[in-house]
């Protein structure tokens, strides 16, 4: 196993999580086809009424990754508009985000761990290290939106289980 560096903690995790998202979205497409339903009906699905829908969960996962990569590398990301109207378009967004993450090199990241950045939160801006922002804000938000999207699909009947979620993380 590689040493413990910020790169090794975050970049492979993002790659595996985005791979998981693409996988569960593909399973949603397969399920909809088998059942004769429009897969794009899942886009507005949510677990509870006051929660944002699946489309937002996928888009925000992509956004969180891009912002976090920007913090890690010191390169401000150009964030795409949230224009996806189909599951296929959401999968394309996930795949493009995955390509971005795969292009990050350890030397782009590991020298920036202690750099100070502004982290907006709860109406205030906090100055924190990149390491702090990535480990407490970026990674946590990434998992929140990934698990929420997975759970929405599962609640809609898509046959995804723990193995679908964990397999890419385990490298199996």
Query: Within a domain: residue 27?
Result: yes
Q: How many domains, the chain?
A: 1
Give me 136's structure tokens: 């407490």
Q: Look at residues 171, 15, 172 and name the one whose alpha carbon lies nearest to residue 103.
A: 15
Give 3-state DSSP helix, strand, coil % of the chain, rounded to 5: 65, 5, 25
Give the CATH number for residue 101.
1.20.120.450
pLDDT at 13: 97
Give me 81's structure tokens: 């508009």
Query: Within a domain: residue 104?
Result: yes
Query: Within a domain: residue 1?
Result: no
| pTM for the full predicted model | 0.94
Mean pLDDT by 10 residues, the chain (172 residues): 82 98 98 98 97 98 97 92 97 98 93 90 92 95 98 98 95 83
139: CB partners within 8 A, 6+ apart: 9, 10, 13, 68
Domain of residue 162, residue span: 6-170
pLDDT at 147: 98
pLDDT at 172: 78
Q: CA-to-CA distance for 162 and 130, rounded, in angstroms?
A: 31
Query: Within a domain: residue 105?
Result: yes
Q: CA-to-CA distance for 139 and 134, rounded, in angstroms?
A: 6
Query: Within a domain: residue 57?
Result: yes
């Amino acid at each position: 196993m590689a040493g413990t560096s910020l790169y090794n903690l975050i970049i492979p995790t993002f790659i595996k999580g985005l791979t998981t998202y693409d996988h569960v979205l593909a399973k949603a497409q397969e399920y909809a086809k088998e059942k004769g339903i429009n897969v794009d009906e899942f886009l507005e699905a949510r677990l509870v009424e006051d929660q944002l829908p699946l489309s937002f969960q996928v888009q925000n996962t992509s956004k969180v990754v891009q912002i976090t990569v920007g913090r890690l590398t010191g390169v401000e990301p150009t964030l795409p508009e949230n224009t996806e109207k189909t599951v296929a378009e959401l999968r394309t967004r996930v795949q493009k985000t995955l390509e971005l993450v795969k292009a990050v090199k350890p030397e782009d990241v590991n020298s920036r761990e202690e750099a100070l950045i502004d982290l907006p939160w709860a109406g205030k801006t906090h100055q924190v290290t990149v390491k702090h922002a990535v480990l407490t804000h970026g990674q946590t938000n990434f998992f929140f939106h990934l698990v929420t999207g997975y759970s929405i699909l599962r609640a809609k009947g898509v046959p995804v289980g723990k193995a679908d979620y964990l397999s890419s993380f385990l490298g199996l």
